[in-house]
Structure 1
Amino acid sequence: MLETDQASKVSKVLDDDDLLREIIIRVGFPTTLVRAALVCKRWYHHASEPAFLRHFCERHLSCLLGFYVEDREDHKMASIRFFSLLNKPRELAAIVRSLLGYSWDAYRSAPANFLCSRNGRVFISLYDQVNRSKFTVGAHSPLCPERGLTVVPPFPHIEIQDGYSRTMNDLFSVDEVNDLSLLHVLVVSNMQRTKSTVHVHMWRHGDGVWRTYLTLDTDQLLDPRREPKSVLANNKIYIASAQSDIVVFDLIASSISMFQLPQGVEYGDTDTMLAQAQDASGVYLIHAKKLQLHIWLHKGDNWLLVDTICLREMVANMWIPGYRVEDDSYAPLRIKHVGDHAEFMFLEMGRCALQLDVKCMQLRKVYVMAEEEVRLGDIHPLKMIWPPIFPALKDNPASSK
């Protein structure tokens, strides 16, 4: 009788769709969400509903699994190493083990370059030994090895007339559900940078060729910089230009605009970074000056100083080789990577890599260079895939309830 009453109470709770959604949303990790969806078709439809996924994403920030360090020697790839972040729950242990065991040996001593990691994929470019303007791009899926390697076709060839040269040649990953799309942006300018043509091509998984997406001509003064890296956010490409400009290619409006950095801020080699903002009309600028980080948000026509983070107290009790807190004349802080929406940052200080969780305002040391290492390689974070990949439903009567 007691067991019957308990089963009745459980059934009453789980038969209430509102209560069921409140239970499922507390699972915490996308991997657990997928397992919950496999209980039955009813749970599957709740867990995979777009509105529910948006709510889940707002409640649980995308899980940062770890980061890759790219080491280079003489324009060749020396190694790609993955480092798991500490204190990961048992739920993610199997995923982390597979990432640590994923082999990158094929690129060792090759003329390759780690481009980026987006939504569970890692993009590696492999250059032609004879002509470095020619290269292929491989999209790896270390979180889903069953996907295999996707080889992207060579970029479209653009004839460049005399007196003109490439001033930007970049690749962007477009976030699409369970699919892979890339944008290739080539900017060709005259020597004075007073006339430029922007060529945008798009490639979707399954296409054998790149397709023309957009071509823009402009008389605006364009002088794209390699650093900080360009950002694709909300169908707009933000590009650092000259000493204090940001050029915006609007892919929907087919237009080019420009605005300046906040007053007193200029581009440096390692002290500025752009990141996409949650707001569809904005972009973040992170500026490091000595032991302070300034986070600016550009929205509309104005800059808003969102936050100023002083790291002095955070690093005072940290053992950081090659750094002294009391030496104000020494400015060792360098930005290595900023996550989407400026949720987290990877910083270089002395001979260490640090990870800053902006929301929790926690700073931790995640990597210390070995004695033989001359420089810290590029850092590329890897997050869980979002939205999660739900397996196709099987027509199984036992799972239909």
Structure 2
Amino acid sequence: MSEEGERMEIDDLLSEILLRLPPEPSSLPRASLVSKRWRGLSRDPAFLRRFRARHRSHAPLLGGFFTDYPTPAHRNNFVSFVPTLDAPNRVRFPFPVADFPCILFSCRHGLVLAASEHRQGFLVWDPVTGDQHRLEEPPGLDAMNGAVLRTGEGHFRVVLVGHDEHHTQALACVYSSQTRQWGGVISAPIPPVVSIVTEIPGVLVGDSIYWLSSRNPDHPTPILEFNLGTLSLAAIQLPVNMYGQGNHSLWVMRAQDDGLGFLFLWGTDAQLWKRTKNGGDDAANSWTIAKTIQMDKLLSLNTEEEKRSLSIEGLVEDRNVVFFRTAIGHFMVHLESLWSLRCKELSETHIIHVFHPFSSVYTAADNSTSS
């Protein structure tokens, strides 16, 4: 074998070894210190694409984004990031567009979707690679919420949802980065006086995305389903009314059997509901409580003020990890194991209404953006 062929064979073998490193932000920078050859391979763009693709399905939680609402000093909404890992895996992602006052719609598959406050379109951003895509508003749809999904290396889809001015039809539209076009507007009837909640992100369960809607207090809360396979919309009635504790007392999530579920706070009891397929016509009878968690005991909420302050502020949808806000701090709770962790970083930031957890494979050649 020639010297060049031997060198390429060693590089291929070394690449396979590096691919198996854990996807923590410090893994590749540490490996790059071994030698010049390791440093070159760990910074190679083709290798980095392979590394991200290999680990994307179990990417670490790096932190989360939130909409930083106006204050006397700042009159517009902006998007901020809070890291949740300790050094040397602690990274920060400053929002890339300074003149884009916006509302955060979605974080999924390592991508961020933000909507302009002033009807200047939408931004899809990959914080790790820095890639940005500006999208114009689709004709015929005033978006109330939306979701972004990665469909392959370098490609994504955006789903926007809204309703007509009379609140009788739900509307949706899909953008594909492969065609660089919006599809036609999709519609479906919805119950009267239903409005899609803008602040709470949609949740991906199976082949559908679900958004929370609001209605007057005399009716059960509906959720809006968009099926990614059939490109169809449907309204699903829930058996509870979220107005009992406020909008942040209810969050759509994946049930333990991977079906549709939701988390509902009733006082300090966290009820995990799941949808059952009994074939009946009564929507309320198709839901059952799978589990109840006494959050006051789990999080040591002792006073009435501490108990009343409990609310849901975010969800890691593929791991059923929920972020809770209380008067004594912010907590991350795994709903199956009941493992909990206080998140000091969230308590030290601005007031966070809704937290969008961000998981991705950080592949910077050095940790220049870490802290």
TM-score, normalised via structure 1 length: 0.63
Aligned length: 316
Deviation of 1:332 (Å): 0.9
Shift of 1:298: 2.1
Alignment counterpart, residue 164 of structure 2, candidates 184, 188, 198: 188
Matches within 5 A, 1:2-401: 27-29=21-23, 57=57, 61-73=58-70, 76-77=75-76, 80-86=79-85, 88=86, 90=88, 92-93=89-90, 96=91, 99=92, 102=94, 104=96, 106-107=98-99, 111-128=101-118, 134-145=119-130, 147=131, 149-152=132-135, 154-158=136-140, 169-178=144-153, 179-188=155-164, 190=166, 193=167, 195-196=168-169, 198-204=171-177, 207=180, 209-212=181-184, 215-218=186-189, 221=192, 223-226=194-197, 228-241=200-213, 242=215, 243-253=220-230, 255-262=232-239, 264-267=240-243, 268-276=246-254, 282-301=259-278, 302-316=286-300, 325-327=302-304, 330-341=307-318, 343-350=320-327, 352-358=329-335, 359=337, 361-366=339-344, 367-369=346-348, 375-385=351-361
What letter matches 2:111 in structure 1? R
What is the alpha-carbon distance in structure 2 between the residues aligned to residue 328 and residue 72 of structure 1? Answer: 25
- Tell me how far apart the structure 1 counterparts of residues 124 and 202 of structure 2 sit (CA, whole Å): 20
Percent identity (aligned) = 16
Q: Which amino acid aligns with 2:23?
A: F
Q: Please state how far the C-alpha of 1:357 moved relative to its aligned partner.
A: 3.1
Inter-CA distance 103–186: structure 2 relative to 1 (3 Å threshold): closer
Using the alignment, how far apart are the partners of 1:360 and 1:24 within structure 2? 32
Is the 8 Å Cα contact of residues 111 and 126 (structure 1) preserved in structure 2? yes
Per-residue CA deviations over 1:290-348 (Å, capped at 9, x if unaligned) read: 333222222435334333222333433xxxxxxx6132795111111111135211111
The alpha-carbon deviation at position 352 of structure 1 amounts to 2.8
Is the Cα–Cα contact under 8 Å of residues 277 and 342 in structure 1 kept in the other structure?
no
Q: Secondary structure at the match of 2:251?
A: strand
Would the alpha carbon gap of residues 157 and 76 (structure 1) be closer, same or farther in structure 2, given more than 3 Å must change? farther
> Which secondary structure does the structure 1 equivalent of 2:144 belong to?
strand
Larger Rg, first or second structure (1 or 2): 1
- Check 1:112–1:76 CA distance in 2 against 1; reply closer, same or farther (3 A cut): farther
Q: For 1:177, give the aligned amino acid.
A: G
Give the drift of 1:265. Answer: 4.8
CA distance in 2, matches of 1:105, 1:53: 28
Cα deviation digits, residues 343-397 of structure 1 (max 9, x gap): 2111111163222233461231333257xx6x43432221114xx99xxxxxxxx
DSSP 3-state at the match of 1:106:
coil
Tell me the C-alpha RMSD between the 2 structures: 4.2
CA contact (8 A) 2:62 2:84 kept: yes
Whole-angstrom CA distance in 2 between matches of 1:126 and 1:245: 26
Q: Could you list the per-position Cα deviations for residues 91-111 of structure 1 after superposition, in whole angstroms to 9, with x for gaps in the alignment?
A: x35xx1xx25x355714xx63
Residue 59 of structure 2 aligns to a residue whose secondary structure is coil
**Could you tell me which amino acid in structure 2 is paired with residue 198 of structure 1?**
L
The Cα of 1:64 is off from its aligned counterpart by 0.7
CA change 1:78–1:266 in 2 (3 A) is: closer
Preserved contact between residue 346 and residue 356 of structure 1 (Cα < 8 Å) = yes
> Which residue type is aligned with residue 151 of structure 1?
R
Question: Partners of 1:68 and 1:363 in 2: how far apart?
Answer: 18
Displacement of 1:257:
4.1
Task: Provide closer, same or farther for how the CA distance between residues 222 and 229 of structure 1 changes in structure 2, counting only shifts above 3 A.
Answer: farther
Kindly tell me: are residues 104 and 76 of structure 1, through their superposed partners in 2, closer, same or farther at Cα, counting changes over 3 Å? farther
Cα pair distance change 1:197/1:28, threshold 3 Å: closer
Question: Could you tell me how far apart the structure 1 residues matched to 2:172 and 2:23 are?
Answer: 40
Q: Larger RCO: Structure 1 or Structure 2 (Cα < 8 Å, ≥ 6 residues apart)?
A: 2
Question: Is this contact kept in 2: 1:357–1:363, CA < 8 A?
Answer: no
Contact 1:183 1:201 in 2 (8 A): yes
CA contact (8 A) 2:67 2:79 kept: yes
Using the alignment, how far apart are the partners of 1:272 and 1:345 within structure 2? Answer: 12
Give distance in 2, aligned partners of 1:254 and 1:105.
32
SS at match of 1:294: strand
1:283, 1:297 within 8 Å by CA — same for their partners in 2?
yes
Change (3 A) 1:360 1:124: same
